[in-house]
Amino acid sequence: MDLRSSRTRIVIVAALAAIWTGAVFGRLAYLQLFRYSEYYSRAQHQQRLIVDVSASRAEIFDRNMNPLAMSVPVDSAFAVPSEIDDPDMVSRLLGKVLDLPADEIATRLAGSHSFAWIARKLAPEKADRIAAMNLRGIYFQREGGRFYPKRDLAAHVLGYVDIDEKGLGGIEYSLDDSIRSKPGKMLILADAHRRWYDSGDKTPETGTSVVLTLDEKIQYIAEKELAQAIRETQAKSGTIVVENPNSGELLAIANWPTFNPNAAKDSSPESRVDRAASSIYEPGSVFKIVTLSAAIDQGLANPDEVIDCQNGAIYIAGHRIRDHKPYGRLTVSQILAKSSDVGAIKIGLRLGAPKFYDYIRAFGFGQSTGVDLPGESHGMLRRVENWTPVSVGSISMGQEVGVTPLQMITAVSAMANGGLIVRPHVIREQRRGNQVTEPQEPQPRRVIQQKTAASMRRMLEGVVLNGTGKLAQLDGYTSAGKTGTAQKYDPNTGRYSAHDLIASFVGFAPINVPAVAILVQLDSPAGAHEGGQVAAPVFKRIAQQVLAYLDVPRDVPAAAETLRASHAHAAHKNKKNEDENLTDASDFDSAQTTTPAAIVKPAAAASAPTVEIVEGDGIPAPRLLGKNMRDVTEECLKMKLTPVLVGTGIAIEQSPEPGTRIRRGSRVTVQFAHSPSLLPTAARGKVK
């Protein structure tokens, strides 16, 4: 009985053990097979924490691969609050280093048991001070910090980023998706007591670097000269744009006020505005280039036509408009040079509103230029059906229309490059590893005929030589441009202000082969306020430095002031067309000459050439027929001869004849014309 009962108990115990074991294994099987994902996820959530680390941003370079923006490794401090025994004390210590209230840090520590950011992207000295405290529960993580090595240089083009490396302005914003890679990850591991014991991080990927069309040195020149102009004129703000008029590449964009993108949060919103792309202003007399070029392009006017400016007053729809000076009869060229409002209005009235509107739109006003910068304004241009009877007159002289600096320099560049509208742009290429991508630029669009652009170039040169832009004359280079002095509209009075004005100058150089177009705009200068007084000198200083930096060949002799004075005197004696066949000394390099070339009339050149002919000794006169002015000048200077240039175009006649032996230092008179048919038959085949 005892044996039987003992066996029974063993069987019962074994059965119970088997049932219990089966239940345990069944439960384990259930948990492993059916609930594994759920419990694994819960365990992961309890044991580790994944924190995003700032995305790394690729570099931004200027056209010569000088870095303008880069990412550098910096330390960020974080805390594992569960490891901190005395949060109040830690908060006080950290607050002194970080210049933050202790309560703010304590709040961060109380918000989580496992992880809390203390300070992102610390300055090295602050990170070292925190590390020296050796506080339990305080750790560091390396992140990428955006750094602008040239500080405020090209700040408005580059833009800036926030604490998470997200672009907030300029190229940083417009190309944020390309420059900014995916964020990195930081893994926080904890034990059962929520104590941090290990971490791992996934380094953010590198984005696509950007190469700009800007030139660091030209940008520096523009910003330096703008700052000087602001100091001298006490203007409220200002903008300078330097562009290659042939390609649309923006070489410099300077705005004032400016800011340091390394500390963008400490700057005012006003200082971060890219005025070149978004600031709208009435251009004033600068807009006359649109009025006159449209009329000339339509055959409604020509540079030598004389127009009665009515002693400086004109009535339009009952409104009297007065000129800044009482001009009488002026040629169209003189209307531009002297900036006559009455003359411009009379030419604008010939166009009529519909045709004038079409040209204004064709030049790109009232619409975006398509520049690859964010925040571009379309400007202000009412539809032609909304124009008033006075609108044609007002717009002809640059009122009732709002433009941006980029729109204005694009229009002037069309005069420089032969009549084409070229899209301005700042992005040259993007690079990712060995892959280089260049943006597809739209084809240039013709807005005026080539001959119209050529006429406008000479007329704009007249503005600089004999008109309101004399202070824009360059040493060693020809230049052309237009001044503008526009009254600002006062919303308080509903009238134009007599004191707040926009002074501007926009032009290009050299004339025959323009290398740069430059716009200078100053808002509300104090004291002297006309564009020719305050903006034209800034143009000169910038152009002088930029052309020399770019190694552009000089096209004016050393004694340029003497030649210009002679040109101005001749213009005074014969206002109609006295210099049609005379050289403007604009097509040769004087770097090696010590004797300025003389300007002579064709008749004088033909009857009395100044040349000393010798027999035996001396050098043979070079053959110059069929060559342009620059080649003729270079050939003469190389042989130590002094060229006397008459007319423009290609050489059709020279004195003395090729091969004649002359002394070094002698003058060689060369007659130029635009038609190869005037060449001697033997020389025509050599003309390209």
How far apart CA 561 and CA 475 sit, in angstroms, is 8
Output the CATH code of domain 216-549: 3.40.710.10
The mean of the pLDDT values for the chain is 82
CA triple 649-650-654, angle to 5 deg: 125
Widest distance between CA atoms in the chain = 158
CATH class of 50-212: alpha beta
> Which residues on neighbouring strands pair with residue 462, listed in sequence order?
none
The token pair that represents 387 in the structure block: 């124009």
The token pair that represents 123 in the structure block: 């300055």
Run of H or E residues at 362 = helix 353-362
How far apart CA 418 and CA 544 sit, in angstroms, is 23
Please choose, from the candidates 291, 293, 292, 322, the residue with its C-alpha nearest in 3D space to the C-alpha of residue 309: 322
User: Positive or negative, the Cα torsion across 673, 676, 681, 685?
Assistant: positive
String of DSSP letters for 25-53: HHHHHHHHHTSHHHHHHHHHHHHEEEEEE
- Residue 139 confidence (pLDDT) above 90: no
pLDDT tens sequence across 458-508: 999 999 999 999 999 999 999 999 999 988 877 777 777 767 899 999 999
- Sole residue written with tokens 């006559």: 340
| pLDDT given at position 324 | 84
How far apart CA 335 and CA 567 sit, in angstroms, is 18
- Determine which of 116-120, 313-317, 635-639, 659-663 has the lowest per-residue pLDDT on average: 635-639
How far apart CA 334 and CA 301 sit, in angstroms, is 13
| pLDDT given at position 202 | 53
Q: Which residues contact 244 (CB under 8 A, 6 or more apart)?
A: 213, 251, 515, 516, 517
| pLDDT given at position 111 | 80
Q: Is the separation of the CB atoms in 107 and 116 below 8 Å?
A: no
For range 342-368, the mean pLDDT: 96
The token pair that represents 129 in the structure block: 């001070």
SS3 annotation, 174-221: HCHHHHECCCEEEEEEECCCCCEEEEEEECCCCCCEEEECCCHHHHHH
User: Positive or negative, the Cα torsion across 669, 670, 672, 676?
Assistant: positive
How far apart CA 111 and CA 97 sit, in angstroms, is 21
What band does 225 get if pLDDT is binned at 50, 70 and 90? very high
What band does 588 get if pLDDT is binned at 50, 70 and 90? very low
Q: Which residues contact 433 (CB under 8 A, 6 or more apart)?
A: none
Which is it for strands 196-202 and 184-190: parallel, antiparallel or unpaired? antiparallel
Please choose, from the candidates 304, 366, 360, 365, the residue with its C-alpha nearest in 3D space to the C-alpha of residue 336: 304
| pLDDT given at position 295 | 97
For range 137-154, the mean pLDDT: 87
The token pair that represents 251 in the structure block: 């070489």
| pLDDT given at position 196 | 52
How far apart CA 81 and CA 138 sit, in angstroms, is 8
- Residue 353 confidence (pLDDT) above 60: yes
CB-based contacts of 431-439 (< 8 A; 24+ apart in sequence): 431/208, 431/209, 431/210, 431/211, 432/58, 432/207, 432/208, 432/209, 439/372
Q: How many CB atoms lie within 10 A of CB 82?
A: 16
- Determine which of 352-361, 418-427, 605-614, 657-666 has the lowest per-residue pLDDT on average: 605-614
What band does 168 get if pLDDT is binned at 50, 70 and 90? very high
- Residue 416 confidence (pLDDT) above 50: yes
How far apart CA 663 and CA 617 sit, in angstroms, is 8
- Collapsing DSSP states into helix, strand and coil, what is residue 643? strand
pLDDT tens sequence across 84-109: 888 889 888 998 888 888 888 888 88
The token pair that represents 373 in the structure block: 């910068």
How far apart CA 564 and CA 576 sit, in angstroms, is 18
Q: Is the separation of the CB atoms in 272 and 169 below 8 Å?
A: yes
Q: Is the separation of the CB atoms in 504 and 510 below 8 Å?
A: no
pLDDT tens sequence across 255-306: 999 999 998 989 999 999 999 999 999 999 999 999 999 999 999 999 999 9
Q: Which residue has the higher pLDDT, 107 or 563?
A: 107
| pLDDT given at position 665 | 72
The token pair that represents 319 in the structure block: 């409104």
Kindly report the pTM of this predicted structure.
0.71
How far apart CA 260 and CA 153 sit, in angstroms, is 8
- Residue 537 confidence (pLDDT) above 90: yes
| pLDDT given at position 330 | 94
| pLDDT given at position 673 | 75
Please provide residue 591's backbone torsions phi and psi, each rounded to the nearest 5 degrees.
-60, -30
Please choose, from the candidates 461, 512, 508, the residue with its C-alpha nearest in 3D space to the C-alpha of residue 674: 512
**Highest-confidence segment of 3-12, 39-48, 52-61, 654-663:** 654-663
| pLDDT given at position 674 | 64
Which is it for strands 329-331 and 445-446: parallel, antiparallel or unpaired? unpaired
For range 511-520, the mean pLDDT: 95
